[in-house]
Amino acid sequence: MDPLLRLILAQGMLGLNNGVFYAMLSLGLAVIFGLLNVVNFAHGALYMLGAFLALILYSYLGIWIGISSFSIGFWPSLILVPVLVACFGMLIERFMLRRLYKLDPIYSLLLTFGVTLVLQGLFINFFNASGTPYPGMPESLRGVVNLGFMMFPKYRLFVILFSIVVCFVVWYVIERTRIGSRLRAGTENPELVKAFGINVPLMVMLTFGFGTGLAGLAGVLAAPIYSVSPLMGANLIIVIFAVVVIGGMGSIAGAVVTGFALGLVEGMTKVFYAPAANTVIFLLMVIVLLVRPNGLFGRSS
Amino acid sequence: MSNMTTDITPTMEAVGPDETGTDQTLQSRSRLWQGIFWGALLAFLAAAPFFLYPVFVMQLLCFALFAAAFNLLIGFTGLLSFGHAAFFGGAAYVAGHALKVWGFPPLLGLAAGTLFAAALGWLVGSLAIRRQGIYFAMITLALAQIVYFFALQMPFTGGEDGLQGVPRGHLLGLISLNAPLAMYYFVAGVFLVAFLMIYRIIHSPFGQVLQAIRENEPRALSLGYNVDRFKLLAFVLSAALAGLAGSTKALVFQFASLTDAHWQMSGEVILMTLLGGMGTIFGPVVGAFIVVALQHALSGIGSWVQVVIGGTFIACVLLFRRGVVGELARILRINSL
């Protein structure tokens, strides 16, 4: 096979791998923004929290409770951690964000920024700022798969497929089911939905929990790939914001498609002009702003 | 999106004249308290190096100027920029490079940094004002991240090490700025001139239009003001003054570093402004004082500083959105401080 084509396909796969995380995180942001009109700056920190919880459950919990052989592996973490992060998110919503809905949305952005600083600071204190590998990758996902053009780690392939399923399910639930239609109605007109007897504050809290749970899930999935560090969400969140501006926050599908596509674009940039790989998404954002200020999938405001 | 530009500055929802006497007594009382604050500021500037460590005070003044410049945008125009570190840090690199490599004298070095920040502000501003509210914030943040990556990757910035060994030089070729007191009064002078300028901008007809935009953008538009031009000009002014602050900091500490351009710095300046009081005149100075003093006092406990700063942020947003000076103005029943 032509070496350039081989390189393009290989970087495409790695780009898709990053795109998975962009898609899942911007999806969570879009869900939260849709119902609450809140831009959750803490999303990156909650992703980091998810990765750390997986690490703690696997490596530290046993030591802390005095039974060093005790550990919770990857598969249970995949369910447990998102639930824990979602609970944490719901606490933030219930006790902090709820007080700010009547004000300018900028205040909730600032509040979640404060939450980010606290979480980052705490984890830098208790864990090394430089990062720790997560050793709990399950045996069944170790090794590589031959894709014809490259040997691709089995685990990364699993992450790509798993995330596509998750994104599809979320899209389906929100756009095609009764729960989803109530949710969307709640974003359009909370007063009216309240009048139908639906507990809107509870719905808002659960939605926020769901969005943050998605960030936690992305964190667990990321743990075996990237090293788990307190700052792993810090730069990612800004990329996610750019993804959101490019996609436009109007639609769930837009968030997912843009996330995957930008991962691929980043991968291709690595092939053709590597120094720009860090900034290409931001440059794309500039171009999109000039051409379509509401984003590719955005509805005009 | 109409709700996005309202209620940014609770300070200004003001005390009605009926409960505090006539407009005139309200105004004269405001003026009296402003006079007191100006006096305190001048006295502090003159006397500070004799009872505080001068480098600490200079750092304080750089951040106070940075916060005051930022406040021009959020407090008086209603625009939340989350990317002001790009102007602060970017200007620090440019000024540092001009002083060190091109051998610029100090004043020209500061001017180079300031001009660079103004130009960058024009670029970022003209892109960001295409969207409002939180989108505006996210766009400024993303654009600032480009500047950060440039600072990380360009050959002249020194990467992770930063730009070191910036010379202080001689002011007007006469006074050596290596003498601590000379340097201090130079920085105090820069701060005072810039702060007076901000005061003038706020109280000019231009500043009144900015406040009208902050209060009700559609109304300002319908009155015939070219809202986008006013916003852009405010953005450029704010960026330039933030750049002046960053350049001055490079001169004081003799280096420019990545921290100055990182988004967390953008967050810190927001905290300073919020804590002191958005939309107040002296709030950013007070806020910068509190944050810088806090960082010095807590420097022994490592990353807990970040936890404390984050906690302060949360407390500010939840409990006293008017900030210290804003609350003081409310207690004193005056409408601007």
Tens of pLDDT, residue by residue over A77-91, are 999 999 999 999 999
Q: Which residues of A touch B146 (CB under 8 A)?
A: 279, 282-283
Is A242 at the interface with chain B, CB within 8 A?
yes
In a domain, A63, yes or no: yes
In a domain, A176, yes or no: yes
Is B294 at the interface with chain A, CB within 8 A?
no
For chain A, helix (H) and strand (E) counts, in that order, are 12, 2
Task: Look up the pTM and report it.
Answer: 0.89
| Among chain A residues, CA nearest to B312 | A114
Closest partner CB to B317 (pick from A39, A111, A282) = A111
In this structure, the number of other CB atoms found within 10 A of the CB of residue B185 comes to 18
Helix (H) or strand (E) holding B175: strand B175-176
In a domain, A96, yes or no: yes
Confidence class for position B70, pLDDT limits 50, 70, 90: very high
In a domain, A276, yes or no: no
Nearest-angstrom CA–CA distance, A38 and A101: 8
A80 touches A12 (CB < 8 A): no
Task: For residue B240, count CB atoms less than 10 angstroms from its CB and return exposed for 0-12, middle for 13-18, buried for 19 or more.
Answer: buried
Indicate the number of domains in chain A. 1
Q: A94-98, B181-185, B302-306 — which is least confidently predicted?
A: B302-306
Per-residue pLDDT for B329 more than 90?
Answer: no
Q: What is the DSSP letter of A198?
A: -
Beta strand A144-146 with B175-176 is unpaired
In a domain, A43, yes or no: yes
Residues belonging to chain B: 337
Contact B304 A121 (CB under 8 A): yes
| Among chain A residues, CA nearest to B133 | A106
- Closest residue by Cα to residue A107 from B207, B322, B215, B217: B322
Per-residue pLDDT for B293 more than 70?
Answer: yes
Nearest-angstrom CA–CA distance, B152 and B138: 21
CA B123 to chain centre: 19
The whole-chain average pLDDT of chain A stands at 88
- Closest residue by Cα to residue B72 from B187, B220, B230, B228: B230
Q: What is the DSSP letter of A63?
A: H
- Closest residue by Cα to residue A38 from A211, A221, A253, A245: A211
Is B307 at the interface with chain A, CB within 8 A?
yes
Percent pLDDT > 90 in chain B is 37
Give the pLDDT of residue B22.
67
Contact B139 A289 (CB under 8 A): yes
In a domain, A165, yes or no: yes
Q: What is the DSSP letter of A299?
A: P
pLDDT tens for each residue of B85-122? 999 999 999 999 998 888 888 888 999 999 999 999 99
The SS3 assignment for A78 reads helix
Per-residue pLDDT for A52 more than 60?
Answer: yes
Tokens of A61: 């919990």
Contact B318 A118 (CB under 8 A): no
Is B70 at the interface with chain A, CB within 8 A?
no
When pLDDT is averaged across residues A96-100 and rounded to a whole number, the result is 90
In this structure, the number of other CB atoms found within 10 A of the CB of residue A86 comes to 23
Confidence class for position B169, pLDDT limits 50, 70, 90: confident
Nearest-angstrom CA–CA distance, B209 and B230: 8
Percent pLDDT > 70 in chain B is 93
| Among chain B residues, CA nearest to A287 | B127
Per-residue pLDDT for B213 more than 50?
Answer: yes
Give the pLDDT of residue B4.
40
Q: Which residues of A touch B4 (CB under 8 A)?
A: 104-106
Nearest-angstrom CA–CA distance, B22 and B20: 7
Beta strand B175-176 with B170-171 is antiparallel
For residue B46, the distance in angstroms to the closest alpha carbon of chain A comes to 35
Contact B307 A122 (CB under 8 A): yes
Contact B307 A100 (CB under 8 A): no
Give the pLDDT of residue A299.
67
Greatest alpha-carbon pair distance for chain A in Å reads 64
In a domain, A166, yes or no: yes
B305 touches B125 (CB < 8 A): no
Residue bearing the bigger pLDDT, B140 or B337: B140
Nearest-angstrom CA–CA distance, A32 and A204: 9
In this structure, the number of other CB atoms found within 10 A of the CB of residue A270 comes to 18
Is A299 at the interface with chain B, CB within 8 A?
no
In a domain, A13, yes or no: no
Is B2 at the interface with chain A, CB within 8 A?
no
Q: A17-21, B21-25, B312-316 — which is least confidently predicted?
A: B21-25
Nearest-angstrom CA–CA distance, B100 and B91: 14
In this structure, the number of other CB atoms found within 10 A of the CB of residue A102 comes to 9
Among A residues 136-175, those touching chain B with beta carbons less than 8 Å apart: none
Range of the domain at A143: 24-130+137-232
Confidence class for position B164, pLDDT limits 50, 70, 90: confident
Residue B76, strand partner residues: none
Is A122 at the interface with chain B, CB within 8 A?
yes
Query: Per DSSP, which regions of A71-154 are E strands?
Result: 144-146, 151-153
Confidence class for position B1, pLDDT limits 50, 70, 90: very low
Closest partner CB to A238 (pick from B6, B135, B145) = B145
